Structure 1
Amino acid sequence: MGAQGEVLVGEERVLRRWTMTLDCADPALLAEFWGTALGYVEPGPPKGWASWQEWLVDQDVPEDEWNDGAALSDPAGVLPAISLLKVPEARAGKNRLHLDLQVSGGRDQPVELRERRIREEAGRLIEAGASVVEEFRIRGALDHIWMADPEGNDFCVV
């Protein structure tokens, strides 16, 4: 293993670190939601600055552009980071990519336990601003819940 996020293949280094970027209308709103949903945090400001606001001022970013982007990171530094970028156009059609938040413990768990875990997580996310799109059942048992974040981006609680 090379530096964090790299794997050695022979003598070559192959990059394995990546960031998922989500286009949105309100980066601060979605950063708050996805931070809650995933347990992610806002990364600290670059070295040498006490706050992001101080950095933005120093970089001459106009104040009306301060919410043009947001970032989230896994507090353990293991999982991919998330970048949220403000775009002028609304989402068109169904997401081509969505997250499955796997909370049930897997399909080998007792049906009652799976359903309780899925419903508890869905309830927590509804309180954070999500909405239920549809529930999916297999042989009468809850399998997963298709949900939408505050801007309508799809995800599932599995």
Structure 2
Amino acid sequence: MSSIKQFQVTFDCADPGRLAAFWCEVLGYVLPPVPEGFATWEEYHGSLPPEKKVQYFACSDPSGVGPRLLFQRVPEGKVVKNRVHLCVRAGTGLVGDERLATLQAECDRLTALGAAHQRTLYADEENESCIVMQDIEGNEFCLD
């Protein structure tokens, strides 16, 4: 039996602070406290010399239930489909038109934050509807 009780999800990205802020808005997560003497993370990051540019940034579930998310800067851009993606459970317990309307409302909210709608998969005999999206750096995720 494994003794591991927690895990974090790590994203490779170009702009760790920006992507962390986006996912905080999506999931209701929080950023760590801003360093003393600075009003915002942007102010703190702006104070750093180029060689100290932010290499990673994390955010966490304020309830402590969900996994920590870590965003790490990498030199290369995203070129292929993710092998792992997050499913944002916006329609849990809902079916049919009610589920689809809830997912669409969440899609509209996330699109306003910079996400991109890729496609809507409509319910069939086996599966309920879900919406495939991309975050602000092109990482795929689902609203389900």
TM-score relative to the length of structure 2 = 0.82
Unaligned runs of 5+ in 2: 40-47
Q: 1:94 to 1:51 in 2, by over 3 A?
A: farther
Partner secondary structure for residue 75 of structure 1 = coil
Does structure 2 retain, via aligned residues, the 8 Å contact 1:135–1:142?
no
Query: How much does 1:110 deviate?
Result: 3.8
Structure-1 residue corresponding to 2:84: 97
More strand, by proportion:
1
Q: 1:27 and 2:16 equivalent?
A: yes
- Cα distance in structure 2, aligned partners of 1:80 and 1:52: 27
Query: How much does 1:52 deviate?
Result: 8.0
Percent identical = 34
Structure-2 residue corresponding to 1:4: none
- Cα distance in structure 2, aligned partners of 1:22 and 1:52: 26
TM-score relative to the length of structure 1 = 0.75
- Cα distance in structure 1, aligned partners of 2:89 and 2:108: 15
- Cα distance in structure 1, aligned partners of 2:24 and 2:123: 30
Structure-1 residue corresponding to 2:98: 113
RMSD: 2.5
Q: 1:84 to 1:116 in 2, by over 3 A?
A: same
Structure-1 residue corresponding to 2:74: 87
Q: Which structure has the larger Rg over C-alpha atoms?
A: 1
Partner secondary structure for residue 15 of structure 1 = coil
Partner secondary structure for residue 30 of structure 1 = helix
- After TM superposition, what 4+ stretches of structure 1 lie above 3 angstroms from structure 2? 139-142
Q: What number of residue pairs does the alignment pair up?
A: 135
Q: 1:50 and 2:36 equivalent?
A: yes
Query: How much does 1:100 deviate?
Result: 0.7
Q: 1:151 to 1:74 in 2, by over 3 A?
A: same
